[in-house]
Structure 1
């Protein structure tokens, strides 16, 4: 079948219950780092607790260890410091190029997009032994106070870390935020490459492809 154009339109209405200042009921056994996940947790987390990128020189591991303040560190404080540390070490820069930088590339270059921030935070957390996952979705940002969106709403990436008792805790290292008050999750995955919303290929003559545009609008 041939067509002169293709339009993919999606409209969704969601009710989110995230609060501005979340309180996390972390299990006593996990309040201080390091802690041990239960055998069931380890089984369920699986590859989510394993680093996905090579770090043969130990650059990422050494960087992540800098946020461990002592032999016993408050778990939530450690994760907050790690999230803030990403935005302190890396300058945000919107990037239209396909793909994601490796965590070491992001650290060495000192800049990256929201997906690069999310991958760096997630991999650093895994290096410290946490189960973590990438989240892709939308950022509700009508006041334009948050980084990572070019208008009222655009595709955004952040991360979640599993902490016993509290469950999955949301971190947006791009904006140094905790909790999902202004975040609309669409996809959750081990690897950011698994969150691509639309994929496919084009077959035709060189001059047949006139262009592509994407528009996202998030309203309350």
Structure 2
């Protein structure tokens, strides 16, 4: 069991005072049998009215509404959690899903819905062709196939930190051969969907006490990874950026169909077109 503290600060700066629109904040970790949230302190400067709700995926969403023009905005969250995930998990995969290909039950298929359907455009089938290259025989071991796919992403794609907004399409990532953790996660999820799996994007934090993991800054950072639904085992965590399986060093905050749905902070402002100077994000994950 790990006791962790997470401090996440996002700062926006403007040349002139602007009127802030509502900001959507996804900063509260998803509690589970692997993660216990001990405390959360969410604040904004200037002060905001904050309300909480759950989205369609069960993520905790805070809406911050501001009342006065501002020249800067700082959003901070301070968390204390217990992480109980083990480094080398054993997955109790159902007998009918041990070998690939397998069929989800009709009920699972209905519930997975869009999570089992590719969401990005790929008219030439580039991603599907690439994904099928990891199938060495039929039948083949399901978990081994997913592990090979996870490792294959980082073998094909070189990690490159990107400060620009947005995410590359899986086709762009394959063609460029480089990307950030969010691009790795999207490529893995879409490739898994091409193979018939239900898969979803996860955003949250990476704990890296030794400072040796890809995509990490210091002992921790924001991060994106994936989960695949396998009958019996449930949602299995895959971190294609670090070829990881299981969530012993990952703190999930939000899950969704697409990466744009799990951004930590999303908002708008009204003001001069050249008012925006820039933003900075500082994250610390410590024991």
Please classify the TM superposition score into its range, dividing by the shorter chain length: over 0.9
Equivalent residue number for residue 111 of structure 2: 44
**1:111: which partner in 2?**
178
Q: Could you say what secondary structure the match of 1:82 adopts?
A: helix
How is 1:82-161 mapped onto 2 (pairs within 5 angstroms)?
82-161=149-228
Q: Do residues 32 (structure 1) and 88 (structure 2) align?
A: no
| Secondary structure of 1:15's aligned partner | strand
Residue 145 of structure 1, CA deviation: 1.1
Q: Which has the higher contact order (CA 8 A, sep 6+)?
A: 2
More strand by share: 2
Quote how far apart the aligned CAs of 1:6 are: 1.8
Give the TM-score normalised by the residue count of structure 2: 0.74
Normalized per residue, the structure richer in helix is 1
The superposition leaves residues 65-103 of structure 1 with CA deviations (integer Å, 9 ceiling, x where unpaired) of 011111101000000000000001100110111100000
Equivalent in the alignment of 1:56: 123
CA distance in 1, matches of 2:272, 2:152: 47
Map 1:176-191 onto structure 2 (within 5 A). Answer: 176-191=243-258
For 1:165-209, what per-residue CA distance to the aligned partner results, in whole angstroms no more than 9, with x for missing partners? 000000000000100010000010000000111111233346654
Aligned length: 220
Unpaired stretches in structure 2, ≥5 consecutive residues: 1-67
In 2, the alpha carbon distance for the partners of 1:197 and 1:130 equals 26
Provide closer, same or farther for how the CA distance between residues 46 and 53 of structure 1 changes in structure 2, counting only shifts above 3 A: same
* 2:85 maps to 1:18: yes
Runs of 4+ in 1 over 3 A off after TM superposition: 205-211
> Taking structure 1 as reference, are residues 57 and 163 closer, same or farther at Cα in structure 2, changes over 3 Å only?
same
Change (3 A) 1:127 1:152: same
Deviations 1:115-145 (A, max 9, x none): 0000000000000000000000000012111
Q: Secondary structure at the match of 1:137?
A: strand
Residue 171 of structure 1 is matched in structure 2 by 238
Show structure 1 runs of 5+ residues with no match. none
Displacement of 1:212 in angstroms is 2.5
Q: Distance in 2 between matches of 1:109 and 1:180?
A: 28
- Three-state SS of the structure 2 residue aligned to 1:22 is coil
Indicate the SS of the match to 2:76. coil
CA RMSD of aligned residues (A): 1.2
- In structure 2, which of residues 268, 277, 283 is the aligned counterpart of residue 201 of structure 1? 268
